[in-house]
Amino acid sequence: MSESLIANINNNHCCCCDKSNKNCYNDHHSCNCSESSKHCYEKAKEFNIITDESVLRKKCENITSENQKLAIECIDKLKHILSSLDHAVGLAAPQLGYNLKIFCMKYNNDILVVVNPVILKIIKPTKYLATSYEGCLSIPNKSYITIRHTKIQVRFQDENFKWQEKTFKNFDAYIFQHEYDHINGVLIKDHGEEIVFENENKIDTKEEKNLEQ
């Protein structure tokens, strides 16, 4: 990991608690988000979340009139499971074994259904890339540092298959990009760096990568 990436960890927050990413990492063994994440992974097992990469690596299909009935079934399951997992913020169709371009994400105290999404534009303010500390229900008990765009303009169909356009920023943008990766057969381990907690006061990674911002 490059020094510039390490320096930017302080500018963002852990997805599970109110600490900055850096402080959360250093306090990981005593931080509530560690136990919350473990509980979330254990509860996810009840819903048979897919961890098989041969399934997760497939690019998903667009929703059309031909597979809309299957899409509705998938949406119902995604919403039910995501609402049952307090510390999960998103879930994609391939994680349930559906090869469909659908995901759900928690947004504005509700669950947003996203169908056939397209990222139209990366909006570039002064700081348009940031480090994000992420986990994935399909990669249990592992955490990664990833690079995400901080503001994106997107187009998608909602659960009634009506087209919408939205702009997401910061944490909402990170969630969208994470789930968008899923429907394209991409996992956080592909472009993220695994975090290894050796002790309470040290963060290490499995390998060094020169990630440029």
- What tokens appear for 58 in the block? 């497939």
Do residues 8 and 213 make contact, with C-beta atoms less than 8 angstroms apart? yes
Give, in order, the Cα–Cα distances in Å from 150 to each of 31, 38, 40.
Answer: 26, 27, 26
Out of 179, 200, 207, 208, pick the active-site residue.
179
The residue whose two tokens read 């534009």 is 121
Question: Which letter, b or e, does each residue of 21-57 get, where b requires 16 or more Cβ atoms within 10 Å of its Cβ?
Answer: bbbbbbbbeebebbeebeebbebbeebebbeeeebbe
Active site residue 61: no
Q: Name which of 94, 97, 113, 121 is nearest 183 in CA terms.
A: 94
Q: Sort strands 151-157 and 139-149 into parallel, antiparallel or unpaired.
A: unpaired
The stretches of 45-99 forming alpha helices (DSSP H) are: 53-56, 68-84
Note the Cα 130 to chain centre separation in Å.
14
Do residues 76 and 67 make contact, with C-beta atoms less than 8 angstroms apart? no
Residues annotated as part of the active site: 179
